[in-house]
Amino acid sequence: MKRSKAKRCPDALVYRVVEVLFQKRGEGSKRRNNKKRGITLRTHITTWLIAGSWALSQPLAEANDAVASTRQQADQWRAEHRTIDLHQHIDCTPEHLARAVKIMDAVGLGLGVNLSGGTVTRAQDGGPSEFERNKYLADTLYPGRFVHYMNLDYSGWDQPDFAEQAARQIEEGHRLGAAGFKEFKRLGLYLRDGAGRLLKVDDPKLDLMWRRCGELHMPVSIHVADPKAFWLPYDERNERWRELKDHKSWWFGDTNKFPPWKALLESLNRVIARHPETTFVCVHFANNAEELEWVDASLSRYPNMRADLAARIPEIGRHNPDQVRRLFLKHQDRILFGTDFQVYDRLILGSSGNEPPPTDADAEVFFAKEWRWLETRDRNWEHMTPIQGDWKISSIGLPAAVLRKVYFDNARKLLAGGLPLPRLQARRLSRDLDLEGHFDDPLWQTAKPVRIEQSGRDGTVRPGLSTSVRALWSPRDLYLAYECPFTRLTVFQPPLSGRKRFDLSRDGVSLWDRDVVEAFIGADAARPRHYAEFEVAPTNEQLDLMVMDLPAKDFDWSSHFQSVVKVDNKAKVWRCEMRIPLSALSGTSPAAGTLWRLNLFRCDRANQAALAWSPPLSGTFHTPSRFGVLEFVE
Ligand SMILES: [Zn+2]
């Protein structure tokens, strides 16, 4: 929404109107109190309309429309399970995992990042570590729904080689599939050495470990300090009293025992400064939801710092929502959605005390309030974690383009190497399809799309170029349909036919050097470096080849695949349909349940984009370890 300076004044009033109307809609219990105010406002609106001022009604409608369309978009993401909660703690038992997944399904969370994955120290009898057991159970019962961060075993702290021990733990976690590393607030506040001294957040003994996390591309989530109020007097006047009275151990106001609040934050910043190659997600809104200026300055100073929202919307929501919104817009690539949703014998929704435990229905309300704060412009409503304090919060209504970064795109980039490999389902056709290039056949609507939208090199998401791909199969053929938004096409003219365009000895002259869509398909699980490659340009010029045993490539091979391309210059979309004979890919016909390996790519030269479905995270698309899965279904 663009606004001129001249309109700013009426806008301010309009926003006030919108605020109160939303507040009225949002809070049933407050409806009676607002009745009188509502009437006054309606009178205002009438007055304005009578005065013939469209300046008022138009932005009002625009603001409403913007929120409505954002919410609609976000509901769609939830329906597709795209949202990622970067901050959960799940006790990995079958019961607790089942409960977590049931709630995640109900609220539209696709992936939970379990920060309490456990340590990688082997059991005393040599059996698997806590981390291995947790990951194995979650991956077996709910594949693709969780990733796990590892935790550090400090038991060797007093030994002279602890720095190396810690680094080795990180290497072992990486080998076992830890998506990242989590440190709790115990560092700096609870953990003590053999002499009884608190371990320091910036102790040099930990430097090797922080560095190894960066080298292995394992993001760190780190909690230091806590709300400011936990350093203030321990009595009922403390605004966090309801939490503190049930958790005496959360109170750090004794200066003989604990470092000052700010000293902890500053020690973490020193660590972040010392390790520019390691990404630090500072949880709980950079551990300082009270001071927006400090968060802004720290994020600006340290490019390797991120902030999650876990359990701090009640605190962030107390600030001026316009100021918070500006901060989110400024650091939109650095803020990540997380909640501190915890499933143990007791459910914890951000925080808890001795009150009766929340129900699954309470969890749904909790998540609905998370969405409400990020997506609407509602003012002064009761927040999602009442035990944190008796105050109201105001929503920040992020635009959809920013919201998707906070909900999942930033996390997808952060976790790129640690996310479960994606899966494309090909549905079996009841009849063969004509290739038309516009996907009007209703059979295409039954195929669930996946997207090519991440940079192959580093996982950065390019929503504007998001290319959907659907798959279908018949006993004879595999069908792929690509839908590619574009700004300007870059192609070879005239297209070649009857001969493949490639020259491995020269740059810029092969088909893949201009705009193309690609599919790499491997049918033989025992030979991961053996797969077929298909490319089609917007001119419908084709190329296929067999990668015999990477890097060996057979360009003489021919699959006799067919393709049709339609370029819609008005809508700025080009569509490509491929029909690939299954017999060219495997001697054995697939059946429902067959799994092949697949990766999908798109090159768009005008936007300097080399995009992947499952980003290889390297300089080449030919990275079989990063291929996703093609699943044949009925
Ligand atoms: Zn937490």
Check pLDDT > 70 for residue 61. Answer: yes
pLDDT of residue 129: 98
- Reported as a single tens digit per residue, the pLDDT across 449-483 is 999 999 999 999 999 999 999 999 999 999 999 99
Counting beta carbons within 10 angstroms of the beta carbon of residue 44, is it exposed (0 to 12), middle (13 to 18) or buried (19 or more)? middle
Distance from residue 151's CA to the centre of ligand 1 (Å): 13
Check pLDDT > 70 for residue 612. Answer: yes
- Reported as a single tens digit per residue, the pLDDT across 503-512 is 999 999 999 9
d(CA 504, CA 488): 26
d(CA 372, CA 381): 10
Distance from residue 290's CA to the centre of ligand 1 (Å): 18
Amino acid (1-letter code) at residue 124: Q
Distance from residue 181's CA to the centre of ligand 1 (Å): 13
Query: Would you give the distance in Å from CA 228 to the centre of its chain?
Result: 29
Mean pLDDT of 306-334: 97
d(CA 560, CA 538): 19
Check pLDDT > 90 for residue 71. Answer: yes
Q: What is the DSSP letter of 3?
A: -
Distance from residue 346's CA to the centre of ligand 1 (Å): 15
| CA-closest candidate to residue 336, choices 610, 85, 634, 32 | 85
Mean pLDDT of 153-176: 98
pLDDT of residue 57: 62
| CA-closest candidate to residue 377, choices 400, 363, 398, 362 | 398
The better pLDDT of the pair 61, 560 is held by 560
Mean pLDDT of 60-79: 92
pLDDT of residue 526: 92
Distance from residue 266's CA to the centre of ligand 1 (Å): 20
Distance from residue 206's CA to the centre of ligand 1 (Å): 21
| CA-closest candidate to residue 611, choices 473, 446, 412 | 412
Distance from residue 255's CA to the centre of ligand 1 (Å): 25
- Reported as a single tens digit per residue, the pLDDT across 570-609 is 999 999 999 999 999 999 999 999 999 999 999 999 999 9
In contact, 245 and 445? CB cutoff 8 Å: no
| CA-closest candidate to residue 459, choices 422, 487, 496, 489 | 422
Distance from residue 388's CA to the centre of ligand 1 (Å): 15
Distance from residue 222's CA to the centre of ligand 1 (Å): 9
pLDDT of residue 472: 97
Mean pLDDT of 421-441: 89
- Reported as a single tens digit per residue, the pLDDT across 534-557 is 999 999 999 999 999 888 999 999
Q: What is the DSSP letter of 415?
A: T
- CB neighbour burial string for 522-535, b if at least 16 within 10 angstroms, e if fewer: bbeeeeeebbbbbb
- Reported as a single tens digit per residue, the pLDDT across 184-231 is 999 999 999 999 999 999 999 999 999 999 999 999 999 999 999 999
Distance from residue 466's CA to the centre of ligand 1 (Å): 33
pLDDT of residue 212: 98
The pLDDT confidence band at residue 439, using thresholds 50, 70 and 90, is: confident
pLDDT of residue 22: 40
Distance from residue 458's CA to the centre of ligand 1 (Å): 27
Distance from residue 287's CA to the centre of ligand 1 (Å): 11
Distance from residue 161's CA to the centre of ligand 1 (Å): 29
The pLDDT confidence band at residue 442, using thresholds 50, 70 and 90, is: confident
pLDDT of residue 94: 98
Distance from residue 583's CA to the centre of ligand 1 (Å): 51
Task: For the chain, give the percent of residues with pLDDT over 70.
Answer: 91
Q: What is the DSSP letter of 518?
A: E
Distance from residue 109's CA to the centre of ligand 1 (Å): 17
Q: In the chain, what is the greatest distance between 2 CA atoms, to the nearest angstrom?
A: 84
Distance from residue 85's CA to the centre of ligand 1 (Å): 11
Distance from residue 89's CA to the centre of ligand 1 (Å): 6
- Reported as a single tens digit per residue, the pLDDT across 242-262 is 999 999 999 999 989 999 999
pLDDT of residue 432: 83
Sequence-distant (6+) residues with CB within 8 A of 306 are 219, 279, 280, 281, 282, 299, 334, 335, 336, 410, 414
d(CA 255, CA 231): 9
In contact, 536 and 542? CB cutoff 8 Å: yes
SS3 629: strand
Check pLDDT > 80 for residue 134. Answer: yes
Distance from residue 230's CA to the centre of ligand 1 (Å): 16
d(CA 81, CA 74): 10
Token pair 């976000």 is found at 74
SS3 264: helix
- Reported as a single tens digit per residue, the pLDDT across 272-319 is 999 999 999 999 999 999 999 999 999 999 999 999 999 999 999 999
The pLDDT confidence band at residue 102, using thresholds 50, 70 and 90, is: very high
Distance from residue 421's CA to the centre of ligand 1 (Å): 26
Check pLDDT > 90 for residue 48. Answer: no
What integer best gives the mean pLDDT of the chain?
91
Sequence-distant (6+) residues with CB within 8 A of 124 are none
Distance from residue 164's CA to the centre of ligand 1 (Å): 27
Check pLDDT > 80 for residue 8. Answer: no
Distance from residue 224's CA to the centre of ligand 1 (Å): 11
Give the count of alpha carbons within 13 A of 288, CB side only.
Answer: 19
Beta-sheet strands, E only, within 560-627: 562-568, 573-581, 595-604, 609-612
Task: For the chain, give the percent of residues with pLDDT over 90.
Answer: 85
- Reported as a single tens digit per residue, the pLDDT across 11-42 is 334 334 444 444 433 333 333 344 334 444 44
Distance from residue 227's CA to the centre of ligand 1 (Å): 13
Distance from residue 86's CA to the centre of ligand 1 (Å): 10
Distance from residue 60's CA to the centre of ligand 1 (Å): 39
Amino acid (1-letter code) at residue 188: G
Distance from residue 88's CA to the centre of ligand 1 (Å): 6
Distance from residue 204's CA to the centre of ligand 1 (Å): 25
Distance from residue 310's CA to the centre of ligand 1 (Å): 7
pTM passes above 0.75: yes
Distance from residue 343's CA to the centre of ligand 1 (Å): 11
d(CA 113, CA 92): 12
**Beta partners for residue 531, in sequence order:** 547
Query: Would you give the distance in Å from CA 586 to the centre of its chain?
Result: 36
